[in-house]
């Protein structure tokens, strides 16, 4: 192989390696951004189901207000948002994401919940008489997790994960020696 051919092969190899690293970097960043916010960041999915009978199941709603026995929450798809008024009473079951007991006082603005019950068709707002409310942001130890805390944790994990990824690449290990 001639010197010119070797130079071309080495140059093409360097370009391919750079392109692969760039792709990995953007791919990793996209995954972190998807993880760092929303219902998925606490293990829930976003879902709204209203049956003909009026039975409602909503998963991954973000709490926007809590007062007395009413929780206000939103589900968002892009620019479209549904606002829910969730009415609770002594019969409403409150649970954490791992199934342990909870109550209305443990729910805070910025947390993610799922709820089920019957829709109250007497008003113009989407109101549900809840029989169950699951707090996805609340661990069984009652340590609340807000949206801001989740984002900070995801960013820290991403930064740490990217550092681990880079340190496992052979060329970057050369600089450690």
Each residue of 58-104: pLDDT tens digit?
999 999 999 999 999 999 888 899 999 999 999 999 998 887 788 89
Q: What CATH number was assigned to the domain covering residues 44-150? A: 2.40.50.140
> What is the separation, in whole angstroms, between the first and last Cα of the chain?
34
What are the boundaries of each domain within the chain?
Answer: 1-36, 44-150
Distance CA 40, CA 111 (A): 12
* Residues 6+ away with beta carbon under 8 Å from 44: 59, 60, 97, 112, 114, 136
Question: What is the tens place of the pLDDT at every residue in 43-66?
Answer: 778 889 999 999 999 999 999 999
């Amino acid at each position: 192989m001639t010197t010119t051919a070797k130079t071309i092969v080495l140059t093409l190899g360097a370009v391919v390696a750079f392109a692969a690293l760039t792709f990995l970097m953007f791919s990793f960043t996209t995954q972190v951004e998807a993880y760092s916010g929303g219902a998925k960041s606490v293990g829930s999915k976003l879902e709204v189901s209203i049956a003909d009978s009026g039975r409602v199941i909503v998963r991954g709603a973000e709490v926007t207000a809590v007062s007395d026995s009413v929780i206000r929450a939103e589900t968002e798809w892009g620019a479209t948002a549904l606002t829910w008024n969730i009415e609770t009473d002594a019969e409403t079951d409150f649970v954490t994401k791992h199934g342990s007991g909870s109550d209305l006082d443990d729910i805070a603005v910025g947390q993610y919940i799922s709820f089920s019950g019957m829709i109250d068709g007497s008003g113009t707002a989407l109101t549900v008489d809840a029989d169950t409310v699951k707090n996805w942001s609340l661990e069984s130890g009652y340590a609340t997790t807000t949206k801001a805390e989740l984002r900070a944790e995801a960013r820290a994990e991403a930064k740490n994960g990217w550092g681990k990824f880079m340190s496992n690449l052979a060329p970057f290990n050369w600089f450690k020696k």
